[in-house]
């Protein structure tokens, strides 16, 4: 009889000849599980499942809600700025998991929604998992899994796991985002679908995330950005797309379709403490919009990098500094 030490489960298992099963692919940090005691409820394809009010709400399992957790203008509207926490929930088969509602049916203007915490949840959605917009601020999103369902085929429709557009002081931590995909009939059109995306003027911090299997970027950011302990794998274009100012700790990038890092604009100004690159693609790519951009990588781990060219594109027209371990 042989005793095998099993990783990821009980500390022992008895076996004569069969080794321990291979552990599941690790994430960057442990994700706290949702505490749900209710049964699944079908809300209908055109309905919301809840309108959060001040305080703490949650403990639900929703199926077929169109835009499930829907923040809206309340009366009195002072509620829009009071802290709201939604926790311990599961959303399946939604269009958007968490989003905001226009001020009225007669306008497309949205009221900023501030001071929100979303925690211990799972979302499956076909368009966006979470959409934070129109000047909303002070959100914390933590302990989550967001999964894209289906494949978008419309060039004008852009799916995404967490999408920010007018979002300030957003904190995202301990989570997994995957499966947001666009496939277009015309291969010359850009297949846009990011795991996480942020626009100019936004600001967010992300730590301890595993992002994988989206067709554009793992993180595509035009925002003021702080990142650390992020793992990105199997992305269609670039694991990390930088357009603006970013301060970065450790990034892991595995097998992107394009390159590990993209300098996407002249305004790119990124300092990365350490990059762990796996697979054959270039470490940094610069296209014509990235001319004049700046990336500094202080340290690299290229022990599993199988490429031959560290840089690609118009890299001679950008400012790229590679530090310890970044040369072959």
14 inside domain: no
Using the 8-state DSSP alphabet, how is residue 60 labeled?
A: E
Helices (H), the chain: none
245 inside domain: no
pLDDT digits (tens, 9 = 90+) for 219-275: 999 999 999 999 999 999 999 999 999 999 999 999 999 999 999 999 999 999 999
174 inside domain: yes
Q: What is the C-alpha R_g of the chain?
A: 21
Can you spell out the DSSP letters for 267-322? T-EEEEEEEEEEESSEEEEE-GGGTT-EEEEEEEEEEEE--S-SEEESGGGSEEEE
Q: Assess contact for 110 and 86: CB atoms under 8 A.
A: no
Beta strands 55-63 and 282-286, pairing class? unpaired
Of 131, 133, 195, 135, residue with least CA distance to 160: 195
Beta strands 55-63 and 160-178, pairing class? unpaired
Using the 8-state DSSP alphabet, how is residue 106 labeled?
A: T
Task: Name every residue whose Cβ is closer than 8 Å to that of residue 11 and which is 6 or more positions away in sequence.
Answer: 5
Ranges of residues in the chain whose predicted pLDDT is under 70: 1-27, 73-80, 103-108
- Position 186 scores a pLDDT of 87
Q: For the whole model, what pTM was predicted?
A: 0.90
Q: Assess contact for 244 and 218: CB atoms under 8 A.
A: no
pLDDT digits (tens, 9 = 90+) for 33-44: 999 999 999 998
Q: How many domains does the chain have?
A: 1
Cα–Cα distance for residue pair 134/140, rounded to 1 Å: 17
Which residues on adjacent β-strands are paired with residue 328? none
277 inside domain: no
243 inside domain: no
Alpha-carbon dihedral angle through residues 208, 95, 46, 112, given to the nearest 10 degrees? 60
Tell me the CA distances in angstroms from 20 to 13, 26, 27, one per residue in order: 8, 16, 20
Cα–Cα distance for residue pair 237/154, rounded to 1 Å: 18
CA triplet 179, 183, 187: central angle to 5 degrees? 145
325 inside domain: no
Cα–Cα distance for residue pair 240/282, rounded to 1 Å: 12
| Torsion 296-301-304-307 (CA) sign | positive
Using the 8-state DSSP alphabet, how is residue 50 labeled?
A: B
Cα–Cα distance for residue pair 297/320, rounded to 1 Å: 8
Cα–Cα distance for residue pair 148/130, rounded to 1 Å: 11
Residue with tokens 């802290």: 83
- Position 250 scores a pLDDT of 97
278 inside domain: no
- Expressed as residue numbers, the domain containing 184 is 29-236
Of 176, 239, 259, residue with least CA distance to 210: 176
- Position 207 scores a pLDDT of 97
70 inside domain: yes
- Position 305 scores a pLDDT of 96
């Amino acid at each position: 009889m042989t005793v095998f030490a099993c990783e990821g489960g009980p500390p022992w298992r008895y076996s004569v000849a069969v080794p321990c099963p291979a552990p599941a692919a690790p994430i960057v940090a442990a994700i706290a599980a949702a505490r749900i005691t209710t049964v699944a409820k079908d809300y209908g394809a055109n309905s919301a499942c809840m309108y959060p009010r001040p305080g703490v709400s949650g403990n639900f399992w929703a199926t077929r809600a169109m835009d499930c957790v829907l923040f809206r203008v309340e009366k009195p509207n002072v509620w829009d700025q009071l802290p709201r926490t939604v926790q311990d929930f599961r959303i399946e088969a939604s269009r958007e998991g968490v989003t905001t509602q226009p001020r009225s049916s007669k306008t497309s203007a949205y009221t900023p929604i501030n001071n929100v915490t979303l925690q211990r949840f799972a979302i499956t959605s076909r368009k966006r998992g979470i959409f934070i917009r129109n000047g909303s601020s002070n959100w914390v999103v933590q302990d989550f899994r967001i999964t894209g369902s289906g494949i978008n085929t419309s060039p004008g429709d852009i799916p995404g796991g967490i999408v920010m557009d007018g979002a300030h002081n957003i904190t995202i931590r301990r989570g997994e985002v995957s499966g947001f995909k666009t496939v277009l009939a015309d291969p010359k059109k850009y297949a846009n679908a990011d795991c996480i995306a942020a626009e100019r003027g936004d600001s967010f911090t992300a730590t301890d995330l595993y992002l994988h299997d989206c067709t554009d970027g793992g993180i595509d950011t035009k925002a003021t950005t702080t990142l650390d302990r992020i793992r990105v794998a199997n992305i269609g274009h670039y694991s990390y797309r930088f357009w603006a100012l970013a301060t970065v700790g450790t990034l892991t990038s595995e097998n992107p379709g394009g390159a590990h890092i993209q300098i996407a604009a002249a305004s790119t100004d990124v300092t990365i403490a350490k990059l762990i690159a796996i697979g054959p693609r270039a470490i940094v790519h610069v296209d014509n919009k990235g001319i004049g951009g700046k990336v500094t990588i202080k340290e690299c781990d290229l022990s599993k990098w199988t490429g031959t060219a560290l840089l690609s594109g118009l890299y001679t027209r950008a400012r790229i500094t590679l530090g310890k371990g970044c040369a072959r």
